Structure 1
Amino acid sequence: MGPDGVTKDRPDPQAAELAAKYGLSVSGARPGLAEYLRRLWEHRYFIAEFARARSSAKYTRARLGGFWFVLTPLMNAAVYYVIFGLLLGTSRGVEDFISFLVTGVFIFTFTRDTVTAGVKSISGERGLIRALHFPRAVLPLTQVTMKLRQLVISMLVLIVIVVARGNYPDWEWLLIVPVLALQLVFNTGLAMWAARLGSKVSDAAQWLPFVLRVWMYGSGVLYMVEQRADDLPTWALVILDMQPAAVYIDLMRYALMNTHNFGAQYLPPHVWLLALGWALLSLVAGFVYFYRAEEEYGRD
């Protein structure tokens, strides 16, 4: 109880009344959903420029510069090819294993890197959050934009590889754009979920990469799931085929490798509905999960 008779732990009723009278509100209070989306749209140019600046600065001191955006997944694919394709023999039964492997690695890398960047997007920008007022969703969206910029470069390299392997352009290549668009929507939702998780759980950035590695092994990135997991129960195979990473990888392989008999028979039933459903579910759930904690970011 203070000297004026007002409890210190509670707001002054007179102050609350005056604030309501003159239209004052809590600093950093979460706006309504429509207003929040409007503010996000107003920051679209900032997101694009912030992503460009961060992408340019990432490898400023590296001798090869931005080439590492492409070199990293290529080196990963080379390592996986030696270990899994040559030593463990997962290439058997796959007509063009190099295109198969590189496509899987590049597409999964887009999702993996978006999540690992998203988990640090809030916790790594506390100074910016405390200094400026803006919709906090700007930060995970900036990370998604950065990874999209990198993916565009990676896709050009991927196309060169699959053409060199004899997969020539045909009408299925038109599917590349909708596949990437759906995966982008899916990744955006995951990034927003990871951003809130990383802001609340300090160790999330440490254990999440292990979860993503397990996800990769179960997504058919390195082998044909039907050939290597045929002893699993039917329900387990259905889950492996219909989980989102496998769906987007299979669709991209179908688009790029149809001339090497990676045809529709390798796709799960209703695959486009699955791809759309996963994208919408991830975006809506991830955005709502992030938005509900808008007032809490940067305050701990």
Structure 2
Amino acid sequence: MSETINLSAPGGVDAGLSQKQLADKYGLKVSGARPGIVAYTKELWGRRHFIVAFATARLVAQYTTAKLGQVWQVVTPLLNCAVFYLVFGLILHNRDIPYYIAWLCTGVFIFQFTQSAVQAGTRAISDNLWLIRALHFPRACMPIAFTVIQLQQLLISMVVLVVIVLCSGIPIGITWLLVIPALLLQFGFNTGLSLIMARIGSKTSDMSQLMPFVLRTWMYLSGVMYSIQGNTNTWSWPFRLIMTINPASVFMELIRHALAPVIYSHHTKNHQTMPHHLWYIALGWCVVSIVFGYIYFWKAEEEYGRG
């Protein structure tokens, strides 16, 4: 005759043991427990097709209710460029930079890539609880997918940016190939930042309301509409250093130099040449952001979608 033992009954053989002790004793695993980081990475890599498919579907559906559809992916940054040119180019006469329109549009497009990735990452978990609670998959898929969406939008916008650069009289050059590694480094940085903000946003719903103000401040400090090198020469070195290693500024300068090196050949007369070490700074930001962001997000894997 078989005997059944009620582990949870008061006075039972395992009374007083915690859930972890019971799990260790009988070789059980906690439901939804966080896997090891290696196993988690393998599982995440196995979902790479899901990430791309989810991102593509969301991108297509994002503008289905708008009459202009996906044209807004290009119109929105162009409208931002027009507003900034009106204020900073015409009203404030900040046009001492050669090919200012191309220079400004490059900054707006590139900064918006990071800005949109951060905003989407902040809501990646909280806005998709229905999916997270219904299906089992590595939760990092969500912020990564939303960063892929922003990359897809940027690639569409880059077509327009190339037209603007060419219409400004800047010829196609071999340095245009440097745009590819620069965007890959920025994508890596944005992915790590999105993972960080996804965890924070999942715990603090008010963060999505605060982020537009934080990002707007970051934009004004990053030289989107003005030249940092031309405005910080008289600053003390700690502040110049902070402005120089600002990741948003670094990625903008790399891509500006790649698309329009002629701008920096003009600046050479004013000792404003392109610093070669920016590539190392960009690589450092990319690696630090991905490693820290990935581990930081993974640490709370079992908490997403609960409560």
Fold similarity call, TM over 0.5: yes
1:71 aligns with 2:75: yes
| Cα distance change on mapping 1:3 and 1:138 into 2, 3 Å | closer
| Cα distance change on mapping 1:8 and 1:227 into 2, 3 Å | same
User: Structure 1: which 5+ runs fail to align?
Assistant: none
1:5 aligns with 2:8: no
Q: Which region of structure 1 is more displaced relative to structure 2, 274-283 or 251-260?
A: 251-260
1:128 aligns with 2:134: no
Q: In structure 2, what is the Cα distance between the partners aligned to 1:194 and 1:10? A: 33
Aligned pair count reads 294
Does the 8 Å CA contact 2:97/2:263 hold for their aligned counterparts?
Answer: no
Within the candidate set 58, 61, 76, 1:57 is matched to 61
Aligned to 1:223: 226
TM-score, normalised to structure 2, is 0.91
**1:12 to partner: Cα distance:** 9.3
Aligned to 2:173: 170
| Cα distance change on mapping 1:79 and 1:4 into 2, 3 Å | same
Letter paired with 1:54: R
Letter paired with 1:68: W
**1:237 to partner: Cα distance:** 1.6
Aligned to 1:189: 192
**1:10 to partner: Cα distance:** 4.2
Aligned to 1:297: 304
Q: How does 1:89-238 map to 2 (within 5 A)?
A: 89-91=93-95, 93-238=96-241
1:35 aligns with 2:39: yes
Letter paired with 1:57: A
Q: How does 1:213-292 map to 2 (within 5 A)?
A: 213-261=216-264, 265-292=272-299
Does the 8 Å CA contact 1:167/1:260 hold for their aligned counterparts?
Answer: no
Within the candidate set 13, 21, 25, 1:17 is matched to 25
The SS at the match of 2:19 is coil
**1:9 to partner: Cα distance:** 9.4
Q: In structure 2, what is the Cα distance between the partners aligned to 1:72 and 1:61? A: 16
**Larger of the two Rg values belongs to structure:** 2
TM-score, normalised to structure 1, is 0.93
Letter paired with 2:10: D
The SS at the match of 1:266 is coil
Q: In structure 1, what is the Cα distance between the partners aligned to 2:116 and 2:186? A: 13
1:87 aligns with 2:82: no
Q: In structure 1, what is the Cα distance between the partners aligned to 2:57 and 2:145? A: 10
Letter paired with 2:105: V
Does the 8 Å CA contact 1:103/1:249 hold for their aligned counterparts?
Answer: yes
| Aligned residues: CA RMSD | 1.9
**1:167 to partner: Cα distance:** 1.1
| Cα distance change on mapping 1:179 and 1:47 into 2, 3 Å | same
Q: Which region of structure 1 is more displaced relative to structure 2, 271-280 or 235-244?
A: 235-244
Identity over aligned pairs, percent:
47
**1:227 to partner: Cα distance:** 2.5
**Which whole-Å deviations, capped at 9, do the CAs of 1:107-151 have from their partners, x for residues lacking one?**
000000000000000111111111111100000011011011101
Q: In structure 1, what is the Cα distance between the partners aligned to 2:233 and 2:144? A: 39
Q: Which region of structure 1 is more displaced relative to structure 2, 203-212 or 268-277?
A: 268-277
